[in-house]
């Protein structure tokens, strides 16, 4: 029997910081960077650090139902698919992507805040 991995503990560790950063985001670039930051934290976990995964293999995509999509590299990786299909990783990443997608939609509907952002 294969050991089932859980990433929920990691999710709980970063959830407070994550929510704060989502609420403070001012444009889509902030949201994309936040998504990559969360993915990096997940990849630093012991079970995924040995795999050849790049943060750009997960792409924030608010048009997808899950809020993100996987690169072909990941879809073709048997080792990754085994972890992705036999753990809660898919759900954990989805729970991070959904609030980002909602904030993205909100900012698109109300561009005034992002228009005022000083770079």
β-pairing verdict for 68-70 and 58-60: antiparallel
Report how far residue 13's alpha carbon sits from residue 18's, in angstroms, rounded to the nearest whole number. Answer: 10
Q: What is the pLDDT of residue 114?
A: 52
Task: Please state the domain extents for the chain.
Answer: 10-111
Whether the pLDDT of residue 41 is over 80: the answer is yes
Per residue in 69-102, pLDDT tens? 999 998 999 988 998 999 999 999 999 999 999 9
Cβ atoms of 21 and 34 within 8 Å: the answer is: yes
Average pLDDT over residues 28-51: 83
Phi, psi dihedrals of residue 51, rounded to the nearest 5°: -85, 150
Do the beta carbons of residue 87 and residue 5 sit within 8 Å? yes
pLDDT at 17: 92
Provide the pLDDT for residue 55.
Answer: 82
């Amino acid at each position: 029997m294969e050991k089932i991995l859980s990433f929920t503990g990691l999710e709980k560790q970063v959830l407070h910081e994550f929510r704060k950063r989502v609420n403070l985001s001012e444009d889509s670039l902030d949201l994309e960077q936040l998504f990559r930051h969360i993915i990096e934290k997940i990849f630093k976990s012991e079970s995924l650090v040995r795999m050849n995964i790049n943060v750009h293999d997960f792409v924030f995509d608010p048009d997808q139902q899950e809020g993100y999509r996987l690169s072909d590299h990941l879809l073709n990786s048997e080792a990754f698919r085994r972890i992705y299909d036999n753990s809660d990783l898919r759900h954990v990443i989805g729970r991070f992507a959904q609030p980002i997608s909602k904030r993205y939609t909100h900012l698109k509907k109300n561009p005034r805040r992002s228009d005022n952002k000083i770079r």
